Amino acid sequence: MTASPKPLQIEFVSDVVCPWCVVGLGGLETALGALAAEGITAEIRFQPFELNPDMAPEGENITDHIGRKYGATPEQSAKNRAMIRDRAAEAWPGFEMQMGQDSRIWNTFDAHRLLHWAGTLGPVEQRALKEALFRAHFTDNRPLPDADVLAEAAEAAGLDRAEGEAVLADGRYAAEVRDAEALWRARGITGVPAVVVEGKWL
C-alpha cells in the first residue's frame, strides 16, 4: 500500500487589513482544492506582517490613508476598492467586501497576537480565526484594535473567547509576533500576501 504524500507546508505571510491577502488566500485555497484530486494536500500557517505598524490606535480613514500613502485621488481609491471587491468575490465566493469611503485602516498587532495563539491550537483553528478577522474588517468594518472586536472574532471562529481575552489582556505572544515579523522581513518579504512553499519557494 502506497503511503499518502506528506502535506505541503505553506506559510502565508499577510496582514488582516490587506485586501489582496483576501484575494490571495481565496486563490490559493482554490488551487489547492484542484490539486486535492491528485492526492496533494497542504497545511497553511499564517505568518504576521503589519502594513501599518506605526498606525495610531484610532486608525485612519481609508481614503485619506490611500491618498497619503500612494498618492491616489478619492476617485481612484473608490475605483480600486470596487475592483478589489470584484476580485475578492471571484476568488472567494461568499466573501463580501463592504469597504467604503468612510472605512478605516487599523493597527493589527493585537490581531496578530491572537492569530499566533490560534496557531498554537492548530492550523484549522488559525484558519478559522483568520477568516473571522477578515470578515470583521472588510465585511463588518469593525475596529480591529478593540479587544472586544477581537474576542468576538475568536468566538465566531469557534475558539474560547475567555482565553482569547486573556491573551489580549496580558500581552501574550508579543515577542513571538515581533520575532516572526523580523524573520520574514529578513527573508526579503516586503509586500503581502507572500506564499512560501516548503520554506523554499516564494
CB 193 within 8 A of CB 24: yes
Tell me the mean pLDDT in the region 9-27: 98
Rounded to whole angstroms, how far apart are CA atoms 50 and 68? Answer: 17
Residue 164 belongs to some domain of the structure: yes
Domain region containing 190: 8-112+129-197
- Note whether residue 3 is domain-resident: no
42: CATH: 3.40.30.10
CB 118 within 8 A of CB 159: yes
Task: Give the total number of structural domains in the chain.
Answer: 1
Q: Is 1 a residue whose pLDDT tops 90?
A: no
Quote the pLDDT of residue 5: 77
Average pLDDT across the chain, whole number: 96
Instruction: Decide if 1 is inside a domain.
Output: no
In a domain, 117, yes or no: no
Would 119 be classed as within a structural domain? no
Please report whether residue 134 resides in a domain: yes
Phi (first) and psi of residue 182, to 5 degrees: -65, -40
Residue at 167 is within a domain:
yes
**pLDDT by residue (tens digit) across 95-109?**
999 999 999 999 999
Torsion of the alpha carbons at 4, 195, 189 and 57, rounded to the nearest 10: -120
| Domain assignment present for 124 | no
Q: What's the predicted TM-score (pTM) here?
A: 0.96
